[in-house]
Structure 1
Amino acid sequence: MLMYELARSEDEYMSLAEISAAQRVSQGYLEQIVIPLREHGLVRGKRGFGGGYKLARPADRITVGEIVKVAEGPVAPVKCMHEDFSDHDCPDDCRARLVWEKVGNAIEGVLNSITLRDLIEGASHTGKKEDSNSE
């Protein structure tokens, strides 16, 4: 939401109040999520009149995967895939783990293939613009 609005505003700073109104989400929530985005170099902030936030890089250089990783952490479809999960908590013969690793890698691949530019231009996960007239 926040990153989408910043991508739409291009190089202009947007206040959290403006983003809150545009996305119909609380400003308090935006204040919480903007901190890690700034710390990880995805957004840049400016105080004072005309200030707010803007993207730290062009929209075509920021992927949805980067945003998800900052906001939610690494993609882990099941508990045993989380980084803080100990291998000794998983049975040695767990054959499902390999499947879940492939699922996680596939999800990451899709998320990393979509940029903010793709989102604002209405592109699908294939990188092609969706035809709004198709059925």
Structure 2
Amino acid sequence: MKISTKGRYGLTIMIELAKRYGDGPVSLKSIAVTNGLSEHYLEQLVAPLRNAGLVRSIRGAYGGYLLGDKPSNITAGDIIRVLEGPISPVEGIEDEEPAKRELWIRIRDAVKEVLDNTTIEDLANHSDDGGNSDAYMFYI
């Protein structure tokens, strides 16, 4: 399974909303500018997220978008399924011979586990320190 720009940019929208959770509505324009993305494309992505209840829209001069739930209750899997469809590494798993079918199922389940156990709160709070904070530091 390859995640398209729909899934990647949809996650970007949701992470930005999570970062600003509790600060009021966020405009798509501000998300687009912050991330160097097309506002028009983000508008196309936010509609299915709104229909799924993952975001709410607020109209008016100070309107924009809010998360439909707390960031800790929305997973990456929720977002990817809305924008990309079912999570599956290959189509037609049921038609594969048993050994390959087992492999595809294990891959699918591993991906689902990661996506379903990663909240947008986790992603919004992730620090970009350039690497693993638990890594060893060596001095010469």
Q: Give aligned pairs, total.
A: 121
CA distance in 2, matches of 1:117, 1:110: 14
Aligned to 2:81: 69
Using structure 2 for the length normalisation, give the TM-score.
0.79
Aligned to 2:135: 134
Cα distance change, pair 133–109 in 1 and its aligned pair in 2 (3 A): closer
Residue 15 (str. 1) matches residue 27 (str. 2): yes
* Larger relative contact order (CA 8 Å, sep ≥ 6): 2
CA contact (8 A) 2:19 2:125 kept: no
Aligned to 2:114: 110
Instruction: Identify which of 11, 30, 33 aligns with 2:45.
Output: 33
For residues 7-35 of structure 1, the C-alpha deviation after alignment (integer angstroms, 9 at most, x for no partner) is: 01112211111111011110111011101
Instruction: Identify which of 41, 48, 62 aligns with 1:50.
Output: 62
Percent of aligned pairs with the same residue? 37
Using structure 1 for the length normalisation, give the TM-score.
0.82
CA contact (8 A) 2:56 2:67 kept: yes
One-letter identity of the residue aligned with 1:30: L
Aligned to 1:5: 16
Unaligned runs of 5+ in 1: 82-86, 124-129
